[in-house]
A and B are shown apart, each in its own frame.
Chain A
Amino acid sequence: MKFTLKIWRQSGPEKSGHFETYEAHDIQAEMSFLEMLDVLNEQITISGGQPVNFDSDCREGICGMCSLVVNGIPHGGQKGTTVCQLHMRSFADGQTITIEPWRAKAFPVLKDLVVDRSAFDRIIQSGGYISVNTGGAPDANALPISKDQAEMAFDAAACIGCGACVAACKNSSAMLFAGAKVTHLNTLPQGHPEKYSRAVSIVVSMDKEGFGACTVTGACAAVCPKEIPLDVISKLNRDYAVGILKGVSA
């Protein structure tokens, strides 16, 4: 197979970027999208060019490091997968493929297709945890948790923090990410003591990082590789509202 690739190149955070067009030859249908880029990079290197920088690590869809917008869709549009799990057989031979980084003010481009997602870490630091130190935890079975609750918490906890939700949202809102963490922890009884302060703190932190508001377009959930449902945003909204009415501050 061969492809025409239109790839975003940007030499540094403060630099302006542009698209460059590459021809990728000898691509096998079995290759993953990122392996196709590996091959392209080897071809570029040998011909004396600068290879394309992009993030990836586990390459099995769980670490959340890979972050490419393929033909306008974060992770490339295959349902429930990250771009590292996308294979070239999903594309037509000879097709032109546009590859861009996540776009959002809170995720500045560092180089080429690499973006800075540390804003997500700071959101978690603002309240995405249960304040328990190591040691002194009661026996794990001392607190029964219904299967439904555990499953609901798990569905939200499956978030890999890749940022596709922000990349897909026309407002660059981080509500699906934040909602997932709040739903995970606030659904479980262990998370109840900090339920409201967690919701309020996380919302304040999201705004501070420069993410937009949710206008319920549903684009985030549509591209989420872990198919986190929009319900988590509803849960965050509710816990936030109740928190504010109770006078909880960040």
Chain B
Amino acid sequence: MLDSKIPSGPLAQKWDKHRFDLKLVNPANKRKFKVIVVGSGLAGASAAATLSELGYKVQCFCYQDSPRRAHSIAAQGGINAAKNYQNDGDSVRRLFYDTIKGGDFRAREANVYRLAQVSTNIIDQCVAQGVPFAREYGGHLANRSFGGAQVSRTFYARGQTGQQLLLGAYQALSKQIAKGAVQMFSRTEMLELVLVNGHAKGIIVRDLTSGKISRHSADAVVLATGGYGNAFYLSTNAVGCNVTATYRAFKKGALFANPCYTQIHPTCIPVNGDHQSKLTLMSESLRNDGRVWVPIKAGDHRPASQIPEGERDYFLERKYPSFGNLAPRDISSRAAKEVCDEGRGVGPGGLGVYLDFSDAIRRDGEDAIRARYGNLFQMYEKIAGENAYQTPMRIYPAVHYTMGGLWVDYNLMSNIPGLFVIGEANFSDHGANRLGASALMQGLADGYFVLPYTIGNYFATTAKSCPAESSQEFSQAEIQVNERLRKLISINGSRTVRSFHREVGQLIWDKCGMARSKAGLEDALRRIPAIRAEFWENVKVTGEPEGINKTLEHAGRVADFLEFGELMCLDALERDESCGGHFRTEHQTPDGEAKRNDDQFSHVSAWGFSGNLAKPNLEKEPLIYEEVTMSQRSYK
């Protein structure tokens, strides 16, 4: 039975009580503890900076050439906080409730409440660091409403909130690096987790510049390595994002929770060819003025302008008359997929729907539309090469966030003692669906205000141990890493790494993407092992393990996706209900909405490695709601 270590007492007082109950480390002793932080995004950078400010010795690792490039930087919209600056009735409780409900009642209540509580500290901290949030003329912070929330609680810095928050955390980290309190390892990728006596005590890394493999031991390991959206090959993630760190931990015994919970964003620029390497998201705000449609007839290849009004299907307005084009992310995404599956999709490959601004331009004038969305229209033109003032935009859904992740308890520690997991890499706060502007909030909450307290309790309650890097456990792990790298290079087959990534990604997207069915998942579960087997026989990785070798880096990541994809499909198959981003076609209301099965699936599915990839062990953490009542989402 999984122990989530949720403190007793009323929900609103749990975190306070818990902070008092946590054992502290004497300030003079903190410098004796060494912490490894893998990842330098919002969660990793904020945690590394804060832990070192407290006195811990920190080593921080990232695969990019600078910690400032982590993919948190690409978040556009904003960050939520229950500040109630707009006096519109927001509160910690309302943010908590919206997050739980948005997550379709599949998140852990106590964690979410704590997230809402510390959200206000995050804004204070970021402003003190010099994050240039949008301001009103009076000099106070501006807010907007986001992601269907009924209150304005989203703080933003133009369309680059993630960038500005990350730079704040990066600068805090830089300050600590300058002091010598954090040792930074850029262009360094974690390839293995090392356990000593069952505790996480170090990692094996590859220096991506020299190719050198090295060992790093510590008193605790923190993974802040982001999500696994690139399992789908095409996603809005950076091309380097990967599951390797968390998946290596899984194979060392860490539980992977809810891997099937992935989020699809409806307004991305569609795929335009076989060689596309990533998808680009455009702000959802476009749906405020654009009307979504496809031709009524399948296979209608006339240009949009030649399709008369009567032969267009404004399918969101038709299916969801009250929300229309503003229906929630998962619902609009699925509706777009359905019409494309019917052969009514538009653009090359038929994977796209129109987002048409002609009515809005007629109504408000082109200048008004330009003022609202000028930068987005420009971005669209750069990528798609079309002028959206004249022809409708084409959009299609794409994967952009993964709610699943390594299982952690209330202290953000995984089931492996000493292994902490923060940010998108853990599973804890978003349930089956994440609300807009909540990812940044969670990453910074974990890094600035939660982990720095809870990690001390681990140190204070266990015997201090930072094993020697020469110990047997490290040697063994290093040998495994070297063997794997050599194996990848020695195969010397006839297919490129990218071709395997594309093939398995496409399969997972088709069968475990926006809509999932038993038959489809079973098909995927048959085919993934075959692709994996071919990979290990026929992949061609050129070059040497020494020095920069981008192909080898990619190969290692794809090898893990090839195993992890199977786990995602297994989880999706086992979760025989629909909830949030997980939509099983067998379980829908007559209107096509996700139909939960709270009696059987109100739990976290935490998977453990059994040695057999096809049969991982399933452990369940029941979700007990003390203060909220579950309800059915409805956006009719």
Known contacts A139-B124, A157-B167; decide if A42 and B499 are in contact (CB<8 Å): yes
Closest partner residue, chain A, to B179 (CB atom): A125
Of A30-38, A68-76, A164-172, the segment with at least 4 beta carbons within 8 Å of chain B is A30-38
Of B93-101, B308-316, B515-523, B545-553, the segment with at least 4 beta carbons within 8 Å of chain A is B545-553
Is the Cβ of A46 less than 8 Å from the Cβ of B494? Answer: yes
Of A129-137, A210-218, A229-237, the segment with at least 4 beta carbons within 8 Å of chain B is A129-137
Interchain CB contact (< 8 A) of B71 among A54, A57, A112, A147: A57
**Number of B positions contacting A (CB below 8 A):** 82
Once the chains are docked, how many angstroms separate the CA of A58 from the CA of B164? Answer: 16
Of listed B74, B124, B127, B138, residue having the most chain A CB within 10 A: B127
Is the Cβ of B141 less than 8 Å from the Cβ of A141? Answer: yes
Once the chains are docked, how many angstroms separate the CA of A54 from the CA of B276? Answer: 17
A: contact size bracket: 35 or more
Is the Cβ of B178 less than 8 Å from the Cβ of A126? Answer: yes
Closest partner residue, chain A, to B384 (CB atom): A30
Once the chains are docked, how many angstroms separate the CA of A55 from the CA of B550? Answer: 9
| Cβ–Cβ < 8 Å partners of B548 in chain A | 53, 110-112, 114
Interchain CB contact (< 8 A) of B275 among A35, A65, A121: A35
Is the Cβ of B383 less than 8 Å from the Cβ of A140? Answer: no
CB distance from A2 to the nearest CB of B (A): 14
A110-129 Cβ-contact flags toward B at 8 Å (1 or 0): 11101011101100111011
Known contacts A30-B272, A42-B496; decide if A137 and B124 are in contact (CB<8 Å): yes
Known contacts A85-B382, A125-B178, A132-B129; decide if A62 and B275 are in contact (CB<8 Å): no
B540 at the interface (CB under 8 A from A): yes
Is the Cβ of A87 less than 8 Å from the Cβ of B130? Answer: no
Of listed A32, A39, A116, A140, residue having the most chain B CB within 10 A: A140
Known contacts A53-B550, A62-B74, A137-B124; decide if A38 and B498 are in contact (CB<8 Å): yes
Interchain CB contact (< 8 A) of A58 among B74, B128, B275: B74
B212 at the interface (CB under 8 A from A): no
Is the Cβ of A63 less than 8 Å from the Cβ of B496? Answer: no
B113 at the interface (CB under 8 A from A): no
Is the Cβ of B542 less than 8 Å from the Cβ of A140? Answer: no
Of B62-70, B214-222, B337-345, the segment with at least 4 beta carbons within 8 Å of chain A is B62-70
B11 at the interface (CB under 8 A from A): no
| Cβ–Cβ < 8 Å partners of B134 in chain A | 150
| Cβ–Cβ < 8 Å partners of A116 in chain B | 65, 209
Closest partner residue, chain B, to A45 (CB atom): B496
Known contacts A59-B238, A111-B547, A147-B139; decide if A188 and B130 are in contact (CB<8 Å): yes
Of B24-32, B155-163, B286-294, the segment with at least 4 beta carbons within 8 Å of chain A is B155-163
Closest partner residue, chain B, to A153 (CB atom): B132
Once the chains are docked, how many angstroms separate the CA of A184 from the CA of B163? Answer: 14
B139-176 Cβ-contact flags toward A at 8 Å (1 or 0): 11100000000000000011010011001001110110
Is the Cβ of A134 less than 8 Å from the Cβ of B452? Answer: yes
Once the chains are docked, how many angstroms separate the CA of A192 from the CA of B314? Answer: 54
A146 at the interface (CB under 8 A from B): yes
A154 at the interface (CB under 8 A from B): yes
CB distance from B24 to the nearest CB of A (A): 15
Chain A interface, >50% SS class = loop
CB distance from B609 to the nearest CB of A (A): 29
Is the Cβ of B132 less than 8 Å from the Cβ of A12? Answer: no
Closest partner residue, chain A, to B553 (CB atom): A53
A248 at the interface (CB under 8 A from B): no
Closest partner residue, chain B, to A155 (CB atom): B132
A95 at the interface (CB under 8 A from B): no
Once the chains are docked, how many angstroms separate the CA of A56 from the CA of B69? Answer: 10
A144 at the interface (CB under 8 A from B): yes
| Cβ–Cβ < 8 Å partners of A191 in chain B | 130
CB distance from A100 to the nearest CB of B (A): 17
Known contacts A59-B239, A60-B280, A143-B127; decide if A31 and B551 are in contact (CB<8 Å): no
Interchain CB contact (< 8 A) of B125 among A81, A131, A137, A153: A137
Closest partner residue, chain A, to B272 (CB atom): A30
CB distance from B156 to the nearest CB of A (A): 11
Is the Cβ of A125 less than 8 Å from the Cβ of B160? Answer: no
B73 at the interface (CB under 8 A from A): yes
Known contacts A46-B540, A140-B124, A141-B85; decide if A150 and B73 are in contact (CB<8 Å): no
Known contacts A128-B174, A132-B128; decide if A140 and B136 are in contact (CB<8 Å): no
Is the Cβ of A154 less than 8 Å from the Cβ of B157? Answer: yes
What are 11 pairs between A and B in contact, CB < 8 Å? A31-B275, A38-B277, A42-B499, A57-B69, A57-B239, A59-B238, A63-B73, A81-B382, A87-B382, A147-B139, A161-B69
Which A residues form the contact surface with B (CB < 8 A)? 11-12, 28-32, 34-35, 38-39, 41-42, 45-46, 49-51, 53-60, 62-65, 78, 81, 85, 87, 89, 110-112, 114, 116-118, 120-121, 124-126, 128-135, 137-141, 143-147, 150-151, 153-154, 157-158, 160-161, 184-185, 188, 190-191
**Which 3 pairs between the two chains have the least Cβ-Cβ distance?**
A144-B139, A129-B171, A137-B128
